[in-house]
Structure 1
Amino acid sequence: MVITSNLNKPIIEALYCEALVLADEVRAAFDLAPPRCGHEDLVRIALSVEGLRTTTRMMHLLAWLLNQRAFFAGELSEFQLRRHGVLPPDRPSDPEQMELLEPETRVLIGETEALHGRVARLDAAWREGFTVQPVGVQRLQERLNRALGSF
């Protein structure tokens, strides 16, 4: 038994809204306000590096979502979407740099990484045709049905 599914407009719209809110929070967090602790130069560097990683991650997400929206609006063909709508791989944050950032900023970065992970799984599943293999219990039930059906 193979289960198939697909992306749809409501899923993309919900992810797009989530990404827009998160992008606004990222913009506000990395506004390069003066750090509130010692080691100001190291904190500024960490803010710059992680800010660049995080904003790049968000721009990749938004670009992927905008391509999906264009596809659902009929502005892109499936061929164009498959060819040009690939979500680039994520570049995880540097743990040493993260330690220098405020806890709220670290949580925000984690949220962007989690969203990228979710969208990356959706992108991979869409490219593979959303074919999901049944879990072990379902396979066992199918084998039992076939075995009992032969009696």
Structure 2
Amino acid sequence: MKKKLERLSLEHFIKKAMEIESKREKLFLIDTGDFGELEFKRPTTKEMLNYIDGTSNSVQTDGEDNVISQDTEGILDASKELVYQCCSYMQSTELRESFDIENPLDTPVKIFGINKTNEIARKIMGKVNGNNSIKKATEEIKN
């Protein structure tokens, strides 16, 4: 026998939504390797979608999920933007001036390198359960 679902009042719905939101991590630490743990902020929905779009649009697969081609520059662009937006250190004018970085979005790659920037971006998305969104977006694109 199926359990009958109770209809939530708007008041209870708002309360539940606020409860869920309050449990989300707003700031978290990520091990960056040589630099140790750094603090990152939770990306906005737009920042997460930009990353998901940038990475999923950069990989072409066949019908059996085998990678046919990969735009590594597109993946890196999405990663460095996410890392830049989520780490206040990357947004430091002093840091950019110290390394003579013209484009602020190039800061993560200059500091961490290509592979570590990609890895940190994946860790950020993992912290906010964004990896499931990436898989879903990839599946939708394939279909």
Give the TM-score taking structure 2 as reference length: 0.25
Please say which structure displays the higher CA radius of gyration.
1
Give the TM-score taking structure 1 as reference length: 0.24
Structure with more relative contact order (C-alpha pairs < 8 Å, separation 6 or more): 1
Write 1 or 2 for the structure with the bigger share of helix. 1
